């Protein structure tokens, strides 16, 4: 069982080895990198390539570690008790399972994606140390330990908004997805648009890299954005020639909105 590039996702050697090491050692893999380099997509692709179920837990600023384990809905129990519902006698009816529990509960190995872990409060990763290490936790309400039947493959993504605690990092593997080089990018585009002509790809990539090379650009376009942009170009029937006329400084270009996300950057293009 090992992870390889798929027909829709190009993985570098380093990434493949990191994923396979994480699977073998049963340790979570932290993936960092510029936005739009396919961090979240990675988990989906691993799931598809190993044909396993994907459970994703999207972390937000208000997410707590406990929500990933379970939540005890005391309020509806209280309400039910007032209404005299039979359900009320079993506390298990009011335990709402979180994503982690769901993953631990599965009979088959699943992929658990903890997406954008850095969005949550700074204590969030620390609160999950034991759970991710031992793959078990204790449920006080039910007075029992929930243990993973099969240790899930855990992929954690981070956008670097906050530093992660060392104790957390020590328990994980780490991979930094760097921005793809020209050849890899071309491969990635080819995977998405098989029928696209080479000249068109080359022209689009030329514009794209020129943009990325403008130093004063604040938000540099990323892989996912060029994919979207090329889609627009093909729908709009833009030809390679139209793109070739563009130079840094000559202002706007077709569907620039797909690559430039900031009004200051648009102004920069015109200078």
Binding site for another protein (CB under 8 A): 13-14, 17-18, 20-22, 24-25, 27, 29-30, 32, 62, 74-75, 78-79, 82, 121-122, 162-163, 165-166, 169-170, 172-176, 178, 213-216
As measured in angstroms, the least distance from the Cβ of 145 to another protein is 24
Q: What is the DSSP letter of 14?
A: H
CA distances, 188 to each of 8, 75, 79, 163, 183 (Å):
8, 50, 54, 30, 9
User: In the bound complex, what is the minimum distance in angstroms from residue 239's beta carbon to another protein?
Assistant: 26
Closest CA relative to residue 100, chosen from 110, 85, 90: 110
- Rank residues 14 and 35 by Cβ distance to another protein and give the closer one: 14
Nearest Cα neighbor of 265 from 227, 212, 228, 222 is 212
Cβ count within 10 A of residue 147 = 13
Residue 181 CA to its chain's centroid (Å): 21
Cβ closer to another protein: 15 or 148? 15
- Closest to another protein by CB, 75 or 235: 75
Q: Which is nearer to another protein, 38 or 146 (CB)?
A: 38
The minimum distance between CB 266 and another protein, in angstroms, equals 18
* Cα–Cα dist 34/158, whole Å: 10
CB of 231 to another protein, least distance (A): 28
């Amino acid at each position: 069982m090992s992870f390889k590039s798929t027909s829709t996702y190009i993985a570098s050697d380093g990434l493949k080895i990191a994923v396979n090491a994480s699977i073998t050692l049963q340790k979570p893999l932290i993936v960092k990198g510029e936005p739009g380099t396919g961090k979240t997509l990675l988990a989906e692709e691993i799931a598809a390539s190993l044909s396993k179920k994907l459970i994703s837990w999207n972390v937000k600023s208000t997410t707590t570690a406990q929500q990933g384990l379970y939540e005890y809905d005391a309020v509806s129990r209280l309400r039910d008790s007032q209404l005299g519902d039979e359900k009320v006698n079993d506390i298990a009816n009011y335990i709402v399972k979180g994503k982690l529990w769901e993953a631990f509960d599965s009979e088959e190995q699943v992929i658990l994606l903890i997406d954008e872990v850095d969005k949550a409060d700074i204590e969030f990763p620390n609160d999950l140390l034991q759970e991710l290490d031992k793959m078990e936790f204790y449920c006080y309400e039910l007075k029992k330990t929930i243990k993973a039947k099969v240790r899930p493959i855990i992929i954690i993504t981070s956008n670097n908004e906050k530093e992660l605690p060392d104790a957390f990092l020590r328990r994980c593997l780490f991979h930094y997805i760097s921005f793809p080089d020209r050849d890899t990018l071309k491969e990635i585009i080819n995977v998405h648009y098989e029928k696209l002509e080479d000249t068109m790809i080359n022209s689009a990539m030329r514009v794209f890299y020129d943009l990325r090379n403008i130093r004063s650009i604040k938000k540099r376009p990323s892989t996912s954005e060029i994919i979207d942009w090329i889609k627009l170009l093909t729908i709009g029937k833009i030809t390679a020639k139209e793109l070739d006329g563009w130079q840094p400084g000559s202002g706007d270009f077709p569907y620039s909105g797909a690559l430039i996300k900031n009004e200051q950057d648009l102004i920069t293009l015109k200078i």
